[in-house]
Structure 1
């Protein structure tokens, strides 16, 4: 039954308006940003929230931040009270134990007022290139958060519309790219202003009473659809486990264990038994763990419907304190997302026996980050930092092959840099870029292939890497084979070759060649049942080689 102040048509118009406002906010942020990690990589997300911090609309952005901005507003309100949010204020924070992510991810909260009353929030998160860590951009070997940069609790950088100049100056002076940092902050403010303007226009058009009534209808519909889907899943306890390669400081695997309890129309994801807080930087705050669990949940439960304040009302997440999923000071958190990509895959694996049509095999699983930094002789020896995520293969499923060369599931609309942009900005030449043949797991449906990229360094630089999932590679389902593990080889000018997946600030001489190869997705089903026409197509497109066709798919070819 619809609310008496709305009708289905009005509700749909307002629902789409909420999401349109969020998309406009995201466009304003990307177009205004100063650094490529935002305007090219799109490492950002925005959300329009109501007066209590519930989601009205969220842009495509990074799925890993699903609902996280909402949680941040509510945590700040718990800390400071709702009266803390004044008209014209801009609040920012990056504390890993509040927002859950690493210090480079900066959350900006701007309360929206309409006719003198607080009616919502325009929020955003963006990756700032450098926040004063011990290494330029980001450290791969940090073992406490104090090495990872400036850490800010909720702080007002604007009050009543006026800048807090001392804080802005402090921010600028404590980043290696101070001007760009302030530029990216103001790009986030521009996104907030866009959201405020658009939301006020919506309220002027429909009145607040009607907008709130539509919101209630939308939230109710989402919650009810979620409950119906969960109720169709057999009650029970479903489990899965895996491990990260290591924490970047040792060779010990980092276990991740998951128990999923389904009871009636409720789902509980319990991470008890996962690794305790690690010395290396694979830890994250509870807020971000909840967000990752929401991504996993949303993959299987009504994935077509946009997220709003009614979503996830049936989901509970348990992350034990002082584990990698609920880190406490002084845990390092710079590479917080590695365990979360595995968490998402494990949820799908756990649920695959009872949701076989919706579940896919595992994907390559991590951002596979390469960072180059140094002084660019082509630009008057100015300092540069390039940080780039790599694409890889996704898992196959019951109705088709996995996707080749797609960004990992925590990053959504994140992009790798166009070669022209990369070579224009940095003293590096990318000589090869393509699909890594045979990296996808064999099966009746093939796992997606990873990618390769070859970087030729033209001046002395330093290299940091964070490539994961070489031990718990992308598993297959229903008899499908696992995908290949990632590989990185470094060929020095004297022709010595080194293979490494994680390193921090490794000095490299001009003439060094770096070849990155990402993992493939898991296959689905028995490879002997693969359609011969699909094998022929894969051979023609170099997705697989002749050797792979005859060793993995020989029965299908006979």
Structure 2
């Protein structure tokens, strides 16, 4: 795969270096240079230039960063490759010590697993032009008090690709989780699920459109503490090849006295009876010129994938993974 990508990149641009960057919501940059040796089928993944470790908990340990790289390679290779350290044998990874993706000992890291890992995936897939960005967030929501506790993750939109629409209301890249049924949620916890639906139009437009995020609302029936650990509230999931960005997520508190407050991506707030938490998850980015209709017959779609600077099986492998989620 690396040999083929390297040769196609060399023929197209005259060099074998790929580059991409993206930002966490707090402004920290994650950047990647991929230098491919097409003759040997090896590559250097150099994250030099990535921002310093942060005060909060979105630092990703080195193991998480390597896991994200392995995941991307397995998506791209187009074969059923067993998960093992040998996946990185042809790759040399350069991580700046003390950065958000290789922090010093004792750094807070819980958000690095569920959030920063996805931004690393976004950067790798962007460098290889695999697909537009997915929602890039697990939308971690917790609430409780001394007697009860609840934690869930909420789905969003998946990114579109060279010949597929992004899926709506799914988790992408992270382990899939099943959300609690409304009847069980309302029976066991002091909340009412007022709304849970697709947020139509939040996927980025394109030849192939990104998937839509969702809207989810909790009405609280007694005082509780609500905590949020989310991303993509500042920087939108990117589109590719002319596709539009997906919509950013949004976290709102609608208080019983009529106030509406934007509570930000990461926060802890105290809620009372009658207060409503309104969550909008990000949509996926679109792929390709929105003015070009994606109504080609299957044969034309297959022909077009052969022009993508990747193995057709690589793109197809990611599509299958997205559908299985």
Q: How big is each residue's C-alpha offset from its partner over 1:478-510, in whole Å with a ceiling of 9 and x where there is no partner?
A: 111000000111111111111123344311111
The residue that corresponds to 1:341 in the other structure is 118
| TM-score where L is the length of structure 1 | 0.49
CA distance in 2, matches of 1:307, 1:506: 40
The ranges of structure 1 where at least 4 consecutive aligned residues each deviate by more than 4 angstroms after the TM superposition are none
CA distance in 1, matches of 2:180, 2:70: 28
Aligned 8 A contact 2:247 2:282 in 1: yes
Unaligned 5+ runs, structure 1: 1-228, 247-252, 353-358, 376-382, 534-558
The residue that corresponds to 1:322 in the other structure is 98
Unaligned 5+ runs, structure 2: 8-15, 297-325
Which of 407, 424, 429 is 2:192 aligned to? 429
1:429-448 aligned within 5 A: 429-448=192-211
Cα distance change of structure 1 residues 498 and 412 upon mapping to structure 2, 3 Å threshold: same
Structure 2 residue 224 is the aligned partner of structure 1 residue 452: no
Cα distance change of structure 1 residues 531 and 329 upon mapping to structure 2, 3 Å threshold: closer
CA distance in 2, matches of 1:398, 1:507: 45
Q: How big is each residue's C-alpha offset from its partner over 1:490-537, in whole Å with a ceiling of 9 and x where there is no partner?
A: 11111111112334431111111111010111111111112589xxxx
Structure 2 residue 233 is the aligned partner of structure 1 residue 233: no
Structure 2 residue 169 is the aligned partner of structure 1 residue 389: no
Q: How big is each residue's C-alpha offset from its partner over 1:85-109, in whole Å with a ceiling of 9 and x where there is no partner?
A: xxxxxxxxxxxxxxxxxxxxxxxxx
Deviation for aligned residue 1:308: 4.2
1:289-438 aligned within 5 A: 289-302=65-78, 304-308=80-84, 310-337=86-113, 338-352=115-129, 359-375=130-146, 383-409=147-173, 411-438=174-201
| TM-score where L is the length of structure 2 | 0.83
Cα distance change of structure 1 residues 503 and 241 upon mapping to structure 2, 3 Å threshold: closer
Residue 149 of structure 2 aligns to a residue whose secondary structure is strand
CA distance in 2, matches of 1:330, 1:470: 27
Please, what is the CA RMSD of the aligned residues? 1.8
Cα distance change of structure 1 residues 284 and 309 upon mapping to structure 2, 3 Å threshold: closer
Q: Higher helix proportion, which one?
A: 1
The residue that corresponds to 2:259 in the other structure is 496
Deviation for aligned residue 1:398: 1.2
Q: How big is each residue's C-alpha offset from its partner over 1:128-162, in whole Å with a ceiling of 9 and x where there is no partner?
A: xxxxxxxxxxxxxxxxxxxxxxxxxxxxxxxxxxx
480-489 or 278-287: which moved more?
Answer: 278-287
Structure 2 residue 60 is the aligned partner of structure 1 residue 284: yes
Deviation for aligned residue 1:278: 0.9
Aligned 8 A contact 1:493 1:511 in 2: yes
CA distance in 1, matches of 2:30, 2:87: 26
507-516 or 466-475: which moved more?
Answer: 466-475
Aligned 8 A contact 1:245 1:472 in 2: yes
Cα distance change of structure 1 residues 413 and 303 upon mapping to structure 2, 3 Å threshold: farther
Aligned 8 A contact 2:70 2:87 in 1: no
Cα distance change of structure 1 residues 389 and 311 upon mapping to structure 2, 3 Å threshold: same
Residue 288 of structure 1 aligns to a residue whose secondary structure is helix
Aligned 8 A contact 2:233 2:265 in 1: no
Cα distance change of structure 1 residues 505 and 266 upon mapping to structure 2, 3 Å threshold: same
CA distance in 2, matches of 1:273, 1:294: 21
Cα distance change of structure 1 residues 481 and 504 upon mapping to structure 2, 3 Å threshold: closer
